[in-house]
Amino acid sequence: MALRQIREVGDNLLRKKSRPVEVVDDKIRQLMDDMYETMKNADDGIGIAAPQVGVLKRVIVIDLGEEGDGHVYKLVNPVIIKQKGEQVCREGCLSVPGVTGDVIRPKEVVVEALDENGKPIKIKAKDLFAICLSHEIDHLDGVLFIDKATEIFEDDENTEEEKK
Ligand code: NI
């Protein structure tokens, strides 16, 4: 595995639409391993999308840590096929340092994707997991949380926020 550089807001690549992955091969698995390592190396990262490391492919990695089920989700071509309800969450992003924001997200989502072996999977998620899936899938379409936030806050050094 290798650490990759995280692209930050102002980098035009973050605003581009990522392409679907046609074959889940070793190169894609290497990308996901690198994304995972890069996310873990960054403060409080719980999710990361491929464009954040400069790769315009529809790949995301999520590890909710203590708030999750212990599984690291490495997802290819994820699509939200159903969503229900609303919740507001204070979000941060590894690509948008120094700020957080309140974003309205679905309370529950159903996502279809391929896993790291190219097998189709369906995930039912709610609460933080639903927020994180929605945030990461937005990255694949060039959308950042600051585009959707109802209010933006400068980071207070004394608070710890999860970064996605
Ligand atoms: Ni993000």
pLDDT digits (tens, 9 = 90+) for 8-65: 999 999 999 999 999 999 999 999 999 999 999 997 789 999 999 999 999 999 999 8
Mean pLDDT of 71-96: 97
**Residue 123 phi, psi dihedral angles, 5° rounding:** -120, 130
Distance 132 CA to ligand 1 centre (A): 9
Question: Is 4 contained in some domain?
Answer: no
Question: Is 78 contained in some domain?
Answer: yes
74's CB contacts (< 8 A; 6+ apart) are: 29, 32, 36, 59, 61, 115, 116
**Percentage of the chain modeled with pLDDT above 70:** 95
Question: Is 3 contained in some domain?
Answer: no
44 lies in which domain range? 12-162
pLDDT digits (tens, 9 = 90+) for 100-124: 999 999 999 999 999 999 999 999 9
For the chain, the domain total comes to 1
* 136 among known catalytic residues: yes
State the pTM of this model. Answer: 0.93
65 secondary structure, DSSP code: G
Question: Is 2 contained in some domain?
Answer: no
Determine the pLDDT at residue 157: 60
Distance 38 CA to ligand 1 centre (A): 13
Instruction: Give the domain CATH number at 85.
Output: 3.90.45.10
Confidence grade of residue 66 (pLDDT, cut at 50, 70, 90): confident
- Give the separation between CA 29 and CA 31, rounded to whole angstroms: 5
What's the order of all strands across the beta sheet hosting 59-62? 47-49, 59-62, 73-84, 108-114, 120-126
Which of 116, 136, 154, 160 is catalytic? The answer is: 136
